[in-house]
Amino acid sequence: MSSEARAYGDPDTRRRILLATWEAIEEIGADIRLRDVAERAGVSRQAVYLHFGDRGNLLLALVEFMPETLGFPKLLAHVFAATSGVEMLRRAVELHSTYNAKIDSVARVLEAAQYQDPALGAAWRERMTRSRAAHRMIVQRIADEGRLADGWTVEDAGDLFYTVTMQTPWRELTRELGWSSDRYAERMTKLLLDSFVAESTA
């Protein structure tokens, strides 16, 4: 489902187009024209179509490209390298507080486009599914350590953890209400730990 039949062209050009798309979205927003992308990449509009087929596929490629470029796997590994479930949760929220900021412009576009382009929607959903699983693993770890508070199942707490740390609440708090990254991380962590962890050390 990820790297399907490396289709066409110079990988370097492909990369330049993806970077240009990213840039264009950051500057212009959701209504970028492929002309804008092409101009920024220094290629013709048709080159974009030769590489990606259509707009949907371009955004689709961006879904893979961004985490790679931002070194997401390493950042995630740091979360899972923590020595306790509680510390994993702390690190996960911290990761959200910085990573969400980097992908926000693009995430906006993708969130909007997912319902119009089925392939894009599927890719976005897959990303969400992985994220959900990661959050649940952290809660599982807390439970394994005997620290999950009475009244919570791993599934319920995991799903809540996953959803309240989604892009939209983060965006509202930091972009619209002016919360800093640190404030977001600290307050959100407190909310979750207060409820999830028995005899909280928050």
Chain positions contacting a copy of itself, by CB under 8 A? 29-31, 108, 111-112, 115-116, 125, 128, 132, 149, 151, 156, 159-160, 162-164, 166-169, 172-173, 176-177, 179, 183, 187-188, 190-192, 194-195, 202
Greatest alpha-carbon pair distance for the chain in Å reads 61
Query: Sign of torsion, CA 175 130 182 201?
Result: positive
Annotate each residue in 15-54 with x if it binds DNA (CB under 7 A) or - if it does not, as one string.
-----------------xxxx------xxxxxx-xxx-xx
- 168 scored as a contact of DNA (CB under 7 A): no
Task: Give, in degrees to the nearest 5, the angle at Cα 168 between 78 and 76.
Answer: 10
Q: Of a copy of itself, DNA, none, which one does residue 55 interact with (CB within 5 to 8 Å by kind)?
A: DNA
> d(Cα 200, Cα 42) in Å, to the nearest integer?
55
- 121 scored as a contact of DNA (CB under 7 A): no
**Sole residue written with tokens 């990661």:** 134
Which of 36, 57, 59, 47 lies closest to 14, judged by CA? Answer: 47
- 167 scored as a contact of DNA (CB under 7 A): no
Nearer to a copy of itself, 14 or 114 (CB): 114
- Nearby residues of 145 by Cβ (< 8 Å), 6 or more positions away: 84, 85
Nearer to DNA, 33 or 175 (CB): 33
Nearer to DNA, 43 or 192 (CB): 43
Q: Least distance to a copy of itself from the beta carbon of 186, Å?
A: 9
Burial of 194 (0-12, 13-18, 19+ CB in 10 A): exposed
Name the site residues for DNA (rule: CB under 7 A): 8-10, 13-14, 32-35, 42-47, 49-51, 53-56
